[in-house]
Amino acid sequence: MRRATCLLSLVVLGLAACARLTDHVVLLPGPDGRTGALSVTAASGEMVLSEPYTGVDVAGGKVTRLSTSAAMVREAFGPLLDMQPPRPRFFVVHFEAGKDVLTPASRSLLANVGTELASLPAGEAVVIGHTDRMGAREFNDRLSLQRAELVRERLVGAGVPRDAISVAGRGEREPVVVTADEVAEPRNRRVDIKLR
């Protein structure tokens, strides 16, 4: 499975306070609790933020460190954060050996994915097909694309516009489970679906 795509969140606020222009920057933790780091460079120099809810004030080219909290950020930026687009969601469906035929469990999962995608505002899907290492590379390149295209057709059937879905096949290059060549591995016979 892929990790969450979020490395860090930050809030930038630039506002004219009194006659002087003051910028604020606040570093936020991601939904998984991990926080990235941020460098803030102004005329007077650079400051690095790496702790969640730390920030800086920038006024007259001067950078001043400031400390906030989850509650303060909620208070000041709640409506802004509520307008964030939905975070991407990831799904995996699996296939029968050597074919573009979904496993029974994946068939019902895919129906739910279609419903979820149709409910997203201006929803888009990125659909990437994969194979295990049975068979020639060229065969697997074709098969992985066929699998991705099958998923696209199902999503179109669920009411998603075709142009909102991008498909690609990566053949046997990106296994979930690394194997020797000519080894059958059900977990690698899959299509990764990202909704956003």
Q: Is the dihedral of CA 163, 166, 169, 175 positive or negative?
A: negative
- Rounded to the nearest 10°, the torsion over CA 137, 141, 142, 144 is 120
Contact between residue 147 and residue 129 where contact means Cβ atoms under 8 Å apart:
yes
Q: Does residue 29 bind another protein (CB under 8 A)? A: no
Alpha-carbon distance of 59 to 64, in angstroms, equals: 8
* Eight-class DSSP state of 152: H
Q: Does residue 116 bind another protein (CB under 8 A)? A: no
**Is residue 78 classed as helix, strand or coil in its secondary structure?**
helix
C-beta closer to another protein: residue 142 or 194: 194
Site string for another protein, 130-169 (x = CB under 8 A): ------------------------------------x-x-
State the nearest-atom distance from the C-beta of 101 to another protein, in Å.
Answer: 26
Residue with token string 């994946």: 106
C-beta closer to another protein: residue 142 or 196: 196
C-beta closer to another protein: residue 22 or 103: 22
Residue ranges in contact with another protein by CB under 8 A: 5-15, 21, 23, 25, 30, 36-43, 48, 50, 58, 61, 63, 77, 79-81, 83-88, 120-122, 124, 126, 166, 168, 194, 196
